[in-house]
Amino acid sequence: MKLRTSLFSSLLFCSALLASLFPAAAHAQAYVGRPKLIVLVVIDQFRGDYLNRDRAEFKGRGFRLFMDQGAWFTDCYYDYANTKTAPGHATIGTGAYSDGHGIESNEFWDASRSWEKKVTAVEDERYQLVDLPPTSIPSNQPGAPPTALNYVIGSSPRNLRATTFGDELRLATQGRSRVYGVSLKDRAAILPAGQSANGAFWVDNVSGHFTTSTYYMEHLPEWARAFNASDRPAQAERESMVEGTTQFFDLVGRMPAANSYELDFAKALIDGEKLGQSGVTDLVVVSLSANDIQGHQFGPDSDSEEKMILSLDRDLDSFNSWLDKTVGLDNVWLALTADHGIPPIPADAARLGIHAATLDMDVLYQKLNADLNTRYSKDKKGKPIQFLLPGPDLPYIILDRRAFEKVHIDEKAAEDAVAELLPAAIAAQTPKIDEQIPAQHRLPPSPQFAGAYTRLELAHGQLPTSELGRVLAHSYADHGNWYVFLALGAYQMEDFHGSIGTTHFSPWSYDRHVPLAFHGAPFLAGEYHSRVAPVDLAATLASLAGVNQPSAAVGRVLTEAIKPIKQPNAQ
């Protein structure tokens, strides 16, 4: 008995000691909140050379804060080949590529969800958009059929298979860290923030009002409703000279005014949610869409691109100065990057003698389909079978599995056939005679086939043992359809017949080159020319914040840009 009492009292003593050492909710409180706030700025379509090109023009604490006082990496390249917006944003958040995070394009055919239409990387019919203005709800439109939806389909990170840096902050703090994403585009607000984000906000294309999805909340917070109800959306329209427009995304979205509009919403978010004040690290990701919307139209070398960049420099100067006044830059880490680069408009590159050419995808699809019918269709007089799914969107050519299965062709044979037919189908296209070629005696450049890789080859790593093979392996994701990945020659792309000027999608350096820069207490200021990758961003932030790497992260911690940790003097 005595023994038991003494054991009991020692246990009591031990637990009292433990309690004094580790008070209740010890896990959540043990996290040392540093810094108060991390702001990650992503510029949609911003090639890595832009900062150097316009360096002399920058003023104040916009880009110069990163370039002069921060750690600026001049040679940051995505190590994958599907350089599109949704995978880029997912990569920035997760520190992984498509083979890790599961997002390979902005939209895809998902055999488990629909054979009628492609789905976007984030659309999710199980949720609805929140607090749209009545005029933006389809069933309210004049002449809408009675069947018109009385809501608009929502979005979520349902396809994101890896956690983000923000998710790991939330896990480490048992939800006390708060994480938000802001953009004009849903995919760019949702994917870099992660699965557990407290909110992601993007604009209603018609009105420009910020909205979100019921995945996050039933209604917008009061501060967001106040922002929408203020003069701010109308001010952005006035600044873009399109007052009263019903095409806010297209017409305001491509103007410099859209960047300050988004940054003002980010300020309202930081204020409204009191971010950076809770003793743990909060995270805001702002993806600025305007440069992409205008860049596709006018290309990287236009006057409007120059204006956009210099205007963004001023907007970032004022945003960073505001952060300094409110949270204090000593308490904030800033990071800057982009989701992909861009090539010049093909005619502009061809004028300099580059082998830039365009490929007519409609003609290519007709030729491929005719060749496949010759090979596989038994009924030569009947209606041709459609072996390819519509919506050509390079680098992917999507096969209609059902059509091949009907003629008893399996995936390997079908994908191998398309890959085999592609070189001749591309060579069959006559080059567009273009007055842009540099000399009368020189022949116009033709579209060039650079490689075709089947889904099965990507899935099983049956790829060339080269740099290109490694980059292709990172591009693999699967949504239940058969496909072939097509690489064209550098500076070549689909012919958009004048609807847009240029686009990004390729494994070539101009699509993969983006800026990477940090500013804040732990970073060693300098201009770094070592080759790094956007996956290193999440890896570096996770390491410095002292949390786990995101679940599929492959990035390197950029130790060369981290200040040496001061050890207490050894006795």
Residues that bind Zn ion (CB under 5 A): 44-45, 85, 292, 339
Comparing CB distances to Zn ion, the nearer of 85 and 163 is: 85
What is the C-alpha separation between 152 and 210, in angstroms, rounded?
A: 14
C-alpha pair distances (Å), 477 with each of 299, 319, 397, 507, 540: 29, 37, 14, 16, 25
Judged by DSSP in three states, 419 sits in: helix
Comparing CB distances to Zn ion, the nearer of 82 and 164 is: 82
Comparing CB distances to Zn ion, the nearer of 44 and 237 is: 44
Compute the CA torsion angle 15, 20, 25, 28 (nearest 10 deg): -130
Provide the minimum distance between the beta carbon of 85 and Zn ion in the complex, in angstroms, as a whole number: 3
Provide the minimum distance between the beta carbon of 106 and Zn ion in the complex, in angstroms, as a whole number: 8
Comparing CB distances to Zn ion, the nearer of 293 and 463 is: 293
Provide the minimum distance between the beta carbon of 81 and Zn ion in the complex, in angstroms, as a whole number: 15
- DSSP letter string over 286-343? EEE-HHHHHHHHH-TTSHHHHHHHHHHHHHHHHHHHHHHHHT-GGGEEEEEEES---P
Provide the minimum distance between the beta carbon of 117 and Zn ion in the complex, in angstroms, as a whole number: 22
Provide the minimum distance between the beta carbon of 150 and Zn ion in the complex, in angstroms, as a whole number: 32
Distance of CA 161 to the CA centre of its chain: 15
Provide the minimum distance between the beta carbon of 119 and Zn ion in the complex, in angstroms, as a whole number: 18
Comparing CB distances to Zn ion, the nearer of 339 and 511 is: 339
Judged by DSSP in three states, 514 sits in: strand
Provide the minimum distance between the beta carbon of 86 and Zn ion in the complex, in angstroms, as a whole number: 8
Tokens of 130: 């929140």
Cβ atoms within 10 Å of 77's Cβ, excluding its own: 19
What is the C-alpha separation between 150 and 398, in angstroms, rounded?
A: 32
Comparing CB distances to Zn ion, the nearer of 200 and 437 is: 200
Judged by DSSP in three states, 565 sits in: coil
Residues 6+ apart with CB under 8 A from 216: 197, 198, 199, 200
C-alpha pair distances (Å), 485 with each of 320, 414, 432, 534: 41, 13, 24, 23
Comparing CB distances to Zn ion, the nearer of 273 and 292 is: 292
Q: With contact defined as beta carbons under 8 Å apart, do 501 and 346 qualify? A: no
Whose CB is nearest to Zn ion?
A: 85
Provide the minimum distance between the beta carbon of 512 and Zn ion in the complex, in angstroms, as a whole number: 13
Torsions phi, psi for 521 (to 5 deg): -50, -40
Tokens of 355: 């082998």
Provide the minimum distance between the beta carbon of 292 and Zn ion in the complex, in angstroms, as a whole number: 5
What is the C-alpha separation between 311 and 142, in angstroms, rounded?
A: 38
What is the C-alpha separation between 521 and 566, in angstroms, rounded?
A: 13
What is the C-alpha separation between 554 and 101, in angstroms, rounded?
A: 11
Comparing CB distances to Zn ion, the nearer of 83 and 320 is: 83
What is the C-alpha separation between 421 and 419, in angstroms, rounded?
A: 6
Comparing CB distances to Zn ion, the nearer of 282 and 292 is: 292
Provide the minimum distance between the beta carbon of 282 and Zn ion in the complex, in angstroms, as a whole number: 25
Comparing CB distances to Zn ion, the nearer of 44 and 371 is: 44
Provide the minimum distance between the beta carbon of 413 and Zn ion in the complex, in angstroms, as a whole number: 35
Provide the minimum distance between the beta carbon of 73 and Zn ion in the complex, in angstroms, as a whole number: 20
Q: What is the DSSP letter of 205?
A: T
Comparing CB distances to Zn ion, the nearer of 299 and 520 is: 299
What is the C-alpha separation between 270 and 324, in angstroms, rounded?
A: 13
Comparing CB distances to Zn ion, the nearer of 97 and 523 is: 97
